[in-house]
Amino acid sequence: MTDDITRRPAFPQGSSRPVATPISPSVVFSSESPDALDAQYDGTSPGYTYAREGHPNADVLAQKIDALEGVPGGIVTGSGMSAVTAAMLGLLKAGDHVVGGDQLYGRSMRLMNQDLPRFGITTTLADPTDAAAIKAALRPETRMILVELVSNPTLRIADIEGIAALAQDRGILLAVDNTFTTPRAFKPFDHGADIVIHSVTKLLAGHADVTLGYVVARDPALQQAITDCAVTMGFTASPFDCWLAERGMMSFNLRYDRAEENAVALADHIATLPGVVRVLYPTRPDHPDHNRAAQVLGARGANMVSFELDGGRAAANAFVRAVPDLAFAPTLGDIATTISHPATSSHRALSPENRAELGMSEGFFRVSVGCEDIETLRAEFARGIAAARA
């Protein structure tokens, strides 16, 4: 027994094991000897040294996502954006060129348009639903293409097979941000991707209480470059956040399937309501890319539904005010339904003309459908949309 309260006791361990994953907040890990530490750094013996370089909760979470995407060695980072950044800064150098989809996640677009060029990496955005447009954007120095299969918020489907064929033909790395579709609906490595990125914040963690990202490359040398970049730049994830996300992932398949089933039913319901100009959902026959969606996603359409109300901003305000139980919040993938209004949030920087070109009026909403009882959702949307019309 010691009364030195700075002394850290051995963690009590008995012959039984905890069922839930323990949280390991330790920043440093002590080694038994310089020989042992040497072996750890050489990689000939397993072990942790310093949490920015890796820690058990990040590894447990990464391995879970690795298994879903089908490639080992991925790294968990402190946000989805740090995962995108690690893939870019880990693999690109000044003089390289990157082509991105023209409806990428807002900050990914900003990274491409404003930040990479400051480091001498040039970028072009092009329409990923058209492989010819992507092809036209390629240059001899193009090193990477970044796409999302389902665009935000108009839910267009990228021509992933066409883009993958181009990338392979030209020796260009294909990075896919799989946040919207998740490996439950789409496995980018089966469609020619070299790198897969996630905002774990969204569907994988699923409870709107952690910000985390993940990136994995099929080629171990590329993965090492991405991991080294993430460790050097300090994109480390907190053990507590990793623990929450790993716990959230226990129910990921259940949540995903339920949310998707709700999304199908809700899209069909909204389409019948007066005052709705159009509904976008990938498996609906009136979706502009529904054939391609069927090819790459099979029967799956994910949990996002977009729709447009007649009546512009006034109708939009009335709708949101009439459904206070549905969180009006610019996120997605939570267990509960959230509604976002691109014109005042994700796409506010665009001019009204630009938004109109992309099909996003003041009456346009994107819904991240959650796991509620479908009858509750039908009733809420019917009430909200009726209020918008009044």
Ligand X SMILES: *Cc1c(COP(=O)(O)O)cnc(C)c1O
Q: Which residues bind ligand X (CB under 6 A)?
A: 79-81, 105, 108, 148, 177, 179-180, 199, 201-202, 211, 213
Quick one: CA dihedral 210, 233, 219, 50, positive or negative?
A: negative
Q: Minimum distance between the CB of residue 79 and ligand X, rounded to whole angstroms? A: 3
Q: Minimum distance between the CB of residue 291 and ligand X, rounded to whole angstroms? A: 23
Nearer to ligand X, 105 or 381 (CB): 105
Q: Minimum distance between the CB of residue 188 and ligand X, rounded to whole angstroms? A: 13
Measured between alpha carbons, how far is 183 from 143 in angstroms, rounded to an integer? 25
Q: Minimum distance between the CB of residue 14 and ligand X, rounded to whole angstroms? A: 38
Nearer to ligand X, 177 or 194 (CB): 177
List the structure tokens of 133.
């447009």
Q: Minimum distance between the CB of residue 178 and ligand X, rounded to whole angstroms? A: 8
Q: Minimum distance between the CB of residue 104 and ligand X, rounded to whole angstroms? A: 7
Measured between alpha carbons, how far is 138 from 142 in angstroms, rounded to an integer? 6
Nearer to ligand X, 103 or 269 (CB): 103
3-state secondary structure 118-163: HCCCEEEEECCCCHHHHHHHCCCCEEEEEEECECCCCCCECCHHHH
Specify the 3-state DSSP secondary structure of 352. Answer: helix
Burial of 4 (0-12, 13-18, 19+ CB in 10 A): exposed
Nearer to ligand X, 198 or 269 (CB): 198
Q: Minimum distance between the CB of residue 224 and ligand X, rounded to whole angstroms? A: 23
**What secondary structure letter does DSSP report for 15?**
S
Q: Minimum distance between the CB of residue 271 and ligand X, rounded to whole angstroms? A: 25
Position of minimal CB gap to ligand X: 80
Nearer to ligand X, 129 or 201 (CB): 201
Nearer to ligand X, 54 or 106 (CB): 106
Contacts of 89 (CB under 8 A, 6+ apart): 119, 229, 233
Quick one: CA dihedral 124, 200, 364, 151, positive or negative?
A: positive
- Report angle CA 233, 238, 241 to the nearest 5 degrees: 135
Q: How far is CA 245 from CA 54, 182, 332, in A?
A: 16, 15, 15
**Interaxial angle between packed helices 312-322 and 374-389, expressed in degrees from 0 to 180 and rounded to the nearest 10:** 140
Nearer to ligand X, 213 or 370 (CB): 213
Contacts of 34 (CB under 8 A, 6+ apart): none
Nearer to ligand X, 205 or 315 (CB): 205
Nearer to ligand X, 54 or 80 (CB): 80
φ, ψ of residue 16 to 5 degrees: the values are: -95, 170
Q: Minimum distance between the CB of residue 50 and ligand X, rounded to whole angstroms? A: 24
Contacts of 222 (CB under 8 A, 6+ apart): 90, 91, 173, 194, 195
